Structure 1
Amino acid sequence: MFWFIFFTLFIGFVLWLLLRYDPGKTAGVYSRPTPFYPIKYALMKFVIARRQKKALASQQVEKSDGELVTGEFGGNKRNIEEMERKTKLPNDKPRAGDCVFFNASNANGWWLTLGMAQRPNDVINLFFTLKVPGLGTFVNEELPHTSNVKAIPSDSEYLTESGFRVKCIEPMRKWQISFEGNLVPAQASQPDITKTGPSTTQDPAIKPITSHFELEWTNYGEYFDFDTEISPEIIARSLALEPWSKQLFETLKATHQTHYEHFGKLSGIFGIDEFQTPEKVEMMSMRDHTITSYRNWSQIRRYIIITYHLDDGTCISTTLVSMPETVFSQLQFGYVVTPSLEKIPVDSIDIKLANFGENKKFPKKFNYSFRAGSKTYDVRVEVRDLVRFKMGLDEACYVEENMCEFWVNDVKGYGFTEVEYRIEPY
């Protein structure tokens, strides 16, 4: 009896020590594994996989706007027409957002990005960058000063008073993008990244350039739904690193976003001042759509989003996000679309944020690797150009849109490395 009591007390004491053990944080930010990490990882992997399996087994049902902006990770299966239409934002959610994004590039030296996040009170977070070979790099006229622009109210389109228009034509198949207005050279976008808020300085030598384009986006394979298709392994690993609490899981649910991505082809004509493309420009593209009841860029300490396509038809997206005060100190996710259009979720990414641009000086050349299914991808990246601008309703962070060339297992590719840093506190 004595030995049983002694053994029970000893085991209890050991568990108490393990629970109290704090391994500290790398760089004072990034959580490190505790002795309970393997158990937490196995549990979360099981829970996420089970939720995904249940969601995929259920029939697709229509979801209301309210249901699209709420939910839990891995648990929603939605009707594509509801997902693709513009969402009415709730009046009581000042940080709600319906956000569409496109990037595109090709081997001829074209790079394009367009982000339009519809926010309440007829505001759109807007950024547009365009690199034209032999001509230069351009941004929307407002971007050197602010990313918050006036929207034109619409139930079906994303519209700005400055001339941008985005509309879904056929769900998951076709979108239209058009613009008629002014662009400015990208060198005009030189924000003060030590201060939050809009930029007040203006270079009088920078003159607006009358521009226009008409573009059509068409799908390349099927969309990737992060609720139901993301790797349980990679999310479980990220969650298992964090200290668990009731508040953590409540925050995880409260900050849920409906998010999906879709590779495709973008084609159309461009006119920049007197320059006119003689024929349609064709680029490989990735678009995404995010619907959320709460998007606060100030909560994101930093992120790296690497999106690109290869000459053999492979398309790749890998992402790392750090939101240490909210949920994850280092979240990873991604996927691959093969030349046969098979979708494979990324299971691990060999990047540690603490060792990768932590000093806000992102490298112009770097290597990384990731694993998707049974295959490991070794990636070399070289930045060819970049545009920097502030982002979010509070403009308390900045984004660097890096236009890059890629080599993946010796296959050439093109795309973007988009990085974000919070200005303060960092």
Structure 2
Amino acid sequence: MWLFLRLDGIGEFEHPQHPNMMVRDESKEIWSGGGLTMEYLEPQMCWKINFDGLLRKGPYRQQWSEEEGELVPVKFSLHWENSTDVFNFNVDNNPSTFARALAQEPWTIELFQRVKKQREQHFRHEQWGRSVGEIEIENCGKTELSLKGIRSHSYGVRNWAEIYRYVMILAHFEDGTAAHLTVINMPATTTHLTVGYVFFPDGRKAGIEWSNASLAQLAEDGLIQDEYGVSFTAGGKSFDVSAALDKQNCPVVYNGLTGSGVFHECIADFQLNGLTPGWGLVEFYYRDEAAQPVPNLQLGSKADPATAASPL
């Protein structure tokens, strides 16, 4: 589970478990854990999202600490409703990006067997929408919220040991355009694969056909810069996207119980083709072979660290 909040004039908040992201699964009927519940009201249309619990007031932590920090009671209730169609990565991706990535690899029977296995085991789809509701923070009163954002559903078997690194850009622009661009290195199959899509203001969707994005130029050394720029094509149109990262709002999350990978979630302001402003994030993932388990990990306030856990 990842749970981060930033409210202008109030501050930054994160779940007390972070940078660990594991929580106990508390319900068999809906997804519930760590005080957060998510329940669909109508498949791929409407969701209800509630939280009632403690959050740690910022700044966001960059590494594990035994210190709890300042914990604040927070409640929020949101109704999420879709505003776009679903983009299914298994059928809607433009085949040219995968063909280009596969052409760079040495072809063997084993390679194609691994590619086939990945495709049959892991599935993902996304759609954009709006969350409307209110949040109440102790000593800060209630605030009404109207938030544009993305619902990303990944399911099946994902072997994180096969992922070396990736950078993902998610952006929504003032004119209604929404975009996703991921560049990923999976040494077992494709060392430089580009995937993603564009939702146009009129509702059309198109998989990304080409991009100049390169992992070698996107914080390869682990030092995340303040600004990045990428270009790509989709639906026969060209897009130049620049991102200005808010380095003060770049929380970190460990991947799993061992922390064998690290996510950096960098909030960013975007510009599309030098004119249209947008908002979103740039996510950097690094595999950390030398990572150690989080010490004395507790999965929620009543959990036994030896019990199984479920990430969101």
2:59 equivalent to 1:184: no
Look up the match of 1:286.
150
1:209 shift after superposition: 0.9
Look up the match of 1:252.
115
1:270–1:151 CA distance, 2 compared to 1 (3 A): same
Look up the match of 1:402.
266
Tell whether the 8 Å contact from 2:87 to 2:125 is kept in structure 1 after alignment: yes
Tell whether the 8 Å contact from 1:402 to 1:417 is kept in structure 2 after alignment: yes
Tell whether the 8 Å contact from 2:184 to 2:191 is kept in structure 1 after alignment: yes
1:393 shift after superposition: 4.0
Tell whether the 8 Å contact from 1:189 to 1:389 is kept in structure 2 after alignment: no
Tell whether the 8 Å contact from 2:165 to 2:184 is kept in structure 1 after alignment: yes
SS in 2 for 1:247: helix
Cα offsets for 1:296-330 (capped at 9, x unmatched):
33332111110111111111111111111x21111
Look up the match of 1:336.
198
SS in 2 for 1:358: coil
CA distance in 1, matches of 2:236, 2:39: 38
Q: Which runs of 5+ in 2 are unaligned?
A: 292-312
CA distance in 2, matches of 1:378, 1:240: 25
Tell whether the 8 Å contact from 1:186 to 1:387 is kept in structure 2 after alignment: no
Query: Which has more radius of gyration?
Result: 1
1:276–1:299 CA distance, 2 compared to 1 (3 A): farther
1:425 shift after superposition: 6.5
Q: Give the letter for the 2:160 counterpart.
A: W
Look up the match of 1:169.
41
More strand by percentage: 2
Equivalent pairs, count: 286
Look up the match of 2:235.
373
Runs of 4 or more consecutive aligned structure 1 residues displaced over 4 Å after TM superposition: none
CA distance in 2, matches of 1:332, 1:393: 28
* Aligned Cα root-mean-square deviation (Å): 1.6
2:2 equivalent to 1:127: yes
- Give the one of 203, 221, 232 matched to 1:359: 221
- Give the one of 238, 241, 248 matched to 2:104: 241
2:30 equivalent to 1:157: yes
Structure 1 length-normalised TM: 0.65
CA distance in 2, matches of 1:421, 1:368: 20
2:16 equivalent to 1:141: yes
- Give the one of 248, 254, 279 matched to 1:390: 254
Look up the match of 2:298.
none
SS in 1 for 2:111: helix
Tell whether the 8 Å contact from 2:266 to 2:281 is kept in structure 1 after alignment: yes
Structure 2 length-normalised TM: 0.87
1:295–1:394 CA distance, 2 compared to 1 (3 A): farther
CA distance in 2, matches of 1:140, 1:402: 17
Q: Which runs of 5+ in 1 are unaligned?
A: 1-125, 192-198
